[in-house]
Structure 1
């Protein structure tokens, strides 16, 4: 008997998964405390420095906590593995020095940023599977494994073809998300963007093609879930063939249950109305009922609002090919976009544009989560605890939960007496 496919979206309003709950500015008191505990624990283990500037921003740490259902032990394990993996494969060097042509070749095999955002301000990506025929993938993998396209040294545990993929994830987290974060024409403008919305078009793909791509996509999905947790929000699957229930049986095993809950298969009649609930028509590609001129393989068709917000420099009027990221300039008042990578064996580091910083940086969690009614005893107790091992973490978590519960009981009793 075929497995049931992913849930079809009948009423999108009933599928409110995640954002902005659990993100900065929208944390519960217990979530705020767990973030503080997590930072204390990581600092004790030598994996985090409080700064300023901090070695890791709060929104990154929150991704690991959300992925592990706020368990400090589990989040620590995943964070530690990710940091060791990044260092072993020199992800920073890879992104800084990767050949631009190789980067663009890899980009053509994976989800493409459309240059647009959904209604919440989250970057919108498009992935059309039909372009990944066996010949294209085979040629790419052979070329990738035989050529080192950056100065990064690796431990050999991750294939070169996948390391190129993670240059694209670096682009998501270091370019697209920070850019979208600084845009104020969105709900919750003080909450950093750490997610992506994806349209995945599986039309014109045969069962044989899915089978041939299975190993390629499974390896990529497994590593991405492990090292870039909570970077995916809703995933809309379009054009599913009649046999997709079989394929769905494989795919859902590659993701954690939280990610699976965000994947929706749309029937033809559901595509346009569902996408329009999440994305303005001007930002939906025309082939899916919208107004946007964008086809797979195109360069991003950057939102005019984004173009108007940035100040172009050095003759640029658009973002160039290849990797780029944002760095603070003007005493932190602006972010500058730096185009990096290498062309013809020569590294580039070219300033493309800059954008005003919408909110002052620093300990965002302490600022956004500030609450005049917070119990001072809870805050001081958390800050004074020394976390040295997994057992200590459990005891700390118990103490925080008990204290918060006691506070809630006091509040309830006061309400009743009034």
Structure 2
């Protein structure tokens, strides 16, 4: 990343704001800076990416995507532990969720937003080694996968990041991610699933720049080396700089960045979340499906049509 002094940053920030103009929603300086950093402080590149992002959000009505909170009681899209604005819980067969969400939840080994790192960034833990990659690649479309990812990005951005920012009294917009490759084998090397992953990476890097703080890939087996050769070219240099690939000797590295009480015991910490079934990050093994009922619609959105439509006019479904 190109280093800039505070004075240079402020000058480039003002140039970007002038270039974008006033015919945009009210944006924070931190949001403008995300695009400048992602473009190595090139104002024209940042302007182009920012305007494309705003157009994409408007065209796809991203601001009206529902997000679960304590107030609106919408069902969760993934597991959550340790936040005040959304109750601890897991993805389950709840009325209002689409069959797409239940299908994804059935095939992903386990995802959980779990407390904060030492710098105040929320932590996402992904049990990558338990993903059913073949089924993810063959039974779901990239549209379904990216719709789910965008909804999760909006959830963390509007709900969990708000708490992170309040805790530190400054805007927080990055998360720490842990990919746990325990149980990973050659079966995870499935090209259709990897192409879905590329679609997700493209959307996150282009429309949600600088939202990753660190990515730890732990318990990485030899099979991961093959996958990494495919995945690495899809990631921009700024993202690659934040990736640490570790084998089984990862605990001390994680504890440098995460307090033991905020790190699950299976990752070297002391947290067990024994108040919740499945503990800190429940594993969904192959064959353990979330079977939909008549209350779950077959649509590509994460929630049923009535909830998606209600969110366009009911802002309590879209924010705290």
TM-score surpassing 0.5? yes
Residue 38 of structure 1: how far off its partner (Å): 1.0
Taking the aligned partners of 1:275 and 1:124, their CA distance within structure 2 comes to 11
Show the counterpart of 2:78: none
Show the counterpart of 1:67: 38
Show the counterpart of 1:121: 120
Show the counterpart of 1:267: 247
Residue 192 of structure 1: how far off its partner (Å): 1.2
Q: Is the 8 A contact 2:219 2:246 kept in 1?
A: yes
Show the counterpart of 2:158: 174
2:232 pairs with one of 238, 249, 252: 252
1:101 pairs with one of 91, 97, 100: 97
Taking the aligned partners of 2:303 and 2:186, their CA distance within structure 1 comes to 39
Matches within 5 A, 1:221-232: 221-232=201-212
**What is the total number of aligned residue pairs between the two structures?**
262
Residue 196 of structure 1: how far off its partner (Å): 0.3
Show the counterpart of 1:37: 15
Sort the Cα spacing of 1:198 and 1:252 in 2 relative to 1 into closer, same or farther, 3 A.
same
Q: Is the 8 A contact 1:235 1:263 kept in 2?
A: yes
Structure 2, unmatched stretches of 5+, are: 69-73, 75-94, 273-278, 284-301
1:76 pairs with one of 27, 44, 47: 47
Show the counterpart of 1:191: 170
Sort the Cα spacing of 1:111 and 1:81 in 2 relative to 1 into closer, same or farther, 3 A.
farther
Show the counterpart of 1:133: 132
Show the counterpart of 2:260: 281
Taking the aligned partners of 1:80 and 1:100, their CA distance within structure 2 comes to 33
Q: Is the 8 A contact 1:107 1:168 kept in 2?
A: no
What is the TM-score with the length of structure 2 in the denominator?
0.71
Show the counterpart of 2:182: 203
Residue 215 of structure 1: how far off its partner (Å): 1.1
Sort the Cα spacing of 1:123 and 1:93 in 2 relative to 1 into closer, same or farther, 3 A.
same
2:195 aligned with 1:215: yes
What is the TM-score with the length of structure 1 in the denominator?
0.56
Taking the aligned partners of 2:48 and 2:259, their CA distance within structure 1 comes to 39
Larger Rg computed on CA atoms: 1
1:115-150: CA deviations, max 9, x gaps? Answer: 300000000110111332145425762xxx6xxxxx
Residue 344 of structure 1: how far off its partner (Å): 8.9
Residue 161 of structure 1: how far off its partner (Å): 3.4
Sort the Cα spacing of 1:76 and 1:230 in 2 relative to 1 into closer, same or farther, 3 A.
same
Sort the Cα spacing of 1:288 and 1:115 in 2 relative to 1 into closer, same or farther, 3 A.
closer
Show the counterpart of 1:296: 281
Q: Is the 8 A contact 1:111 1:125 kept in 2?
A: no
Taking the aligned partners of 1:72 and 1:344, their CA distance within structure 2 comes to 40
2:57 aligned with 1:90: no
Q: Is the 8 A contact 1:126 1:296 kept in 2?
A: yes
Query: Pairwise CA RMSD of aligned residues?
Result: 3.3
